[in-house]
Structure 1
Amino acid sequence: MRKSTRSFSRTAASSLAVAALALVGFQATGQTATAATAAKASSIATCTTANTKVSVSTVSRPINHLLLKATNTGTKPCYAYSAPFLRAGADAQAPLRWVEESTPQSVLMLEPGQSAYAGVLTYSPDGEGGSQVKTLGVLLTDKKGNATATEKSLKLPGSGAFFNSAAAVTYWQDNAADALVW
């Protein structure tokens, strides 16, 4: 009887040792994968005016809208976080509000040459005051929602655009149609 108990104990101990080694190997593999994922994420830059070309254009529909386009001109991918901070005219006291309903499900990652789009509502009958402006100041955002580096000043097409207190900008979208829904 003792012999079979001892034999069972050795078998059990051997199985436990194999299971422990397998678990350690699994954890090490998971740590390596996590480290690789973290390394890849750290190699993705934040889209800034230094690595991103920003342009603005008029659209035929909807009326009272502009389309902002940000194209990654860098050599590695960049994240287009949140929405841009926009300053309508040189005398603007505050940035345009962000359209919270336009928040995408995830942050947009732009490969070199890819673009993101934001719709700009310039005015609404519900808004107050307003003026014709000829420039649009653009600051991109970082992961924490803060403005990045340098402001890019864009000349608005034609004779400019009328902005009032209802003016707003959407979050970055992966296509122009979605950016112009709001």
Structure 2
Amino acid sequence: MRISTRSASRAAASSMVVAAALAFVGFQATAQTASAATKAAPSAVTCTPANTQVTVSEVSRPINHLLLRATNTGTKPCFAYSAPYLRAGADAQAPLWWAEETTPQAVVTLQPGESAYAGITTSSPDGEGGGNEKTLGVIFADKKGNAIDNEKTLKLPNGGVFFNSSAQVTYWQDNPADALAW
């Protein structure tokens, strides 16, 4: 009976050694694959007018809102940092306020062909003054939230949109529903 117990113990020990060796080889292969994928992945850049197409559209709900869409047209992933700096009309003295409560948990990263969205509140009854503006100037932000590159000027829908002092824009979001939900 002792011989069969020893054989069983040796067989179990051998099985454990083989399983450990296979696990180690699998671990090495996984690490090599991950390492190769890391090396092959293109490094991300900041979204700018040079690598991103920007459009603005009217939405049916909520009222007095527009949707800004930025689509990565480059060959590398790009980061849509913070919120866009927006200038409603050619004579605007300052950019629209950023809606701080819309800050996402992470920077929106756009793979080539993907889009980020920002919701724009154009006016509210609480706002003062205002006027019908025909253009919207868009400037991207860098990692620190500073304005970068040249302004991209877009024509607003319907020949113009009314903006007043309550106008503001959300931070970049990864989907239009979140951009318009505030």
Q: Shared fold by TM > 0.5?
A: yes
Deviations 1:103-160 (A, max 9, x none): 0000011000000000000001111100000000000100010111110000001121
Point out the more displaced range, 67-76 or 42-51.
Answer: 42-51
User: What 5-or-longer segments of structure 1 have no aligned partner?
Assistant: 1-28
Counterpart secondary structure, 1:158 = helix
The answer for the alignment partner of 1:68 in structure 2 is 68
The answer for the alignment partner of 1:132 in structure 2 is 132
Counterpart secondary structure, 2:57 = strand
The amino acid across from 1:145 in the alignment is: G
The answer for the alignment partner of 2:59 in structure 1 is 59
User: What 5-or-longer segments of structure 2 have no aligned partner?
Assistant: 1-30
The answer for the alignment partner of 2:84 in structure 1 is 84
| Runs of 4+ with deviation above 3 angstroms | 39-42
Output aligned runs, 1:110-149, within 5 Å: 110-149=110-149
- Shift of residue 40, structure 1, vs aligned partner: 8.6
User: Structure 2-normalised TM-score?
Assistant: 0.77
User: Aligned residues, how many?
Assistant: 148
Give the share of equivalent positions with the same residue, in percent: 72
Output the CA distance in 2 between the equivalents of 1:97 and 1:40. 39
- Shift of residue 89, structure 1, vs aligned partner: 0.1
RMSD over equivalenced CA pairs, Å: 1.8
- Call closer, same or farther: CA 1:166–1:173 in 2, change over 3 Å: same
User: Structure 1-normalised TM-score?
Assistant: 0.77
The amino acid across from 1:110 in the alignment is: L
Output the CA distance in 2 between the equivalents of 1:98 and 1:123. 14
